[in-house]
Amino acid sequence: MHDISTNLRAEHSRLPSEEELSRAYGMARGTIRHALSELAAEGYIYRVHGKGTFVRARDYEHVIETPRFVSFLDDLIEKGITPIVKVLEVAQGYPDETTASRLGVGINEKSVYTIRRLRTVDDKVIMYSINNLPCPLYPNMLADGNDYTSLYGMLFKKCGVQVNTGTRLMQAVSATEDIAAIFRVPEGYPLMYVQQIVYDGDNRCVDCAYIWLRSESFRFTINMRRHMHEADSAKPQEVRGN
């Protein structure tokens, strides 16, 4: 699937069938199906009923710099909203290639802790997150009886790791069958998908997270200030009449 996620296939080109991909990569169809679902959730491909699966066009990326990093949970609490956090799974396992590269861990060993959580407000799921932490950062995490409500609070309290900076890549996606079941919405429901990479003060990647947000529950406001460009600072030319 590397050629799909790295834009080596043409935009809107049709992918081979699951059976053809299974033969080409030597993988079980179930593994192929799961991989395609992840690519669809991340916005790399899209499905057309009765026609097949196609490569999505490259997106325009608008980069916004902000000096403040705050987690979604902390931001909700600051606004007087206290969601219920439900931990679905905490496990040690093998990372995928992208996660391993970002965290700087081995791909052929159980080198990451994966924490899957839901956040609900008024019995409505507003957020589903999959956080991946590098095992060397906190070797005894599974044995310490953590509640995993606040991962960054846990890392600071237990390891002295202070989250410093982060990057969020956000895009609108349609809910796949698996994600729709988690949110209890129809397949194809509009969601916001966030890839979040978080670093500590030593610029170590301490969390690689994949987050889905219920689109009608979140609104993003961006306050901007225009920097003066040379063209802006030039004096307007005097217009003379005849």
Structure-token pair, residue 11: 């935009």
Q: Where are the domains of the chain?
A: 2-55, 72-217
3-class DSSP state for residue 77?
Answer: helix
Lowest mean pLDDT among 103-117, 192-206, 217-231: 217-231
pLDDT digits (tens, 9 = 90+) for 168-208: 888 889 999 999 999 999 999 999 998 888 999 888 999 99
The DSSP code sequence of 193-242 is EEEEEEEETT--EEEEEEEEEEGGG--------PPPPHHHHSPPPPPPP-
Residue scoring higher pLDDT (238 or 89): 89
pLDDT at 237: 59
Query: pTM (2 decimals)?
Result: 0.68
133: closest CA among 159, 112, 110? 112
pLDDT at 189: 93
* Assigned fold of 2-55: Arc Repressor Mutant, subunit A (1.10.10)
Q: What angle do CA 113, 118, 151 make, to 5 degrees?
A: 45
154: closest CA among 118, 207, 204? 207
Contact by Cβ (8 Å): 153, 222: no
pLDDT at 78: 75
pLDDT at 5: 54
User: Cα torsion at 3, 8, 13, 16 (round to 10°)?
Assistant: -20
pLDDT at 4: 60
What CATH number has the domain spanning 72-217?
3.40.1410.10
pLDDT digits (tens, 9 = 90+) for 77-91: 777 777 889 999 999
In the chain, helix, strand, coil percent, each to 5? 30, 30, 40
How many other CB atoms are there within 10 angstroms of residue 151's CB atom? 23
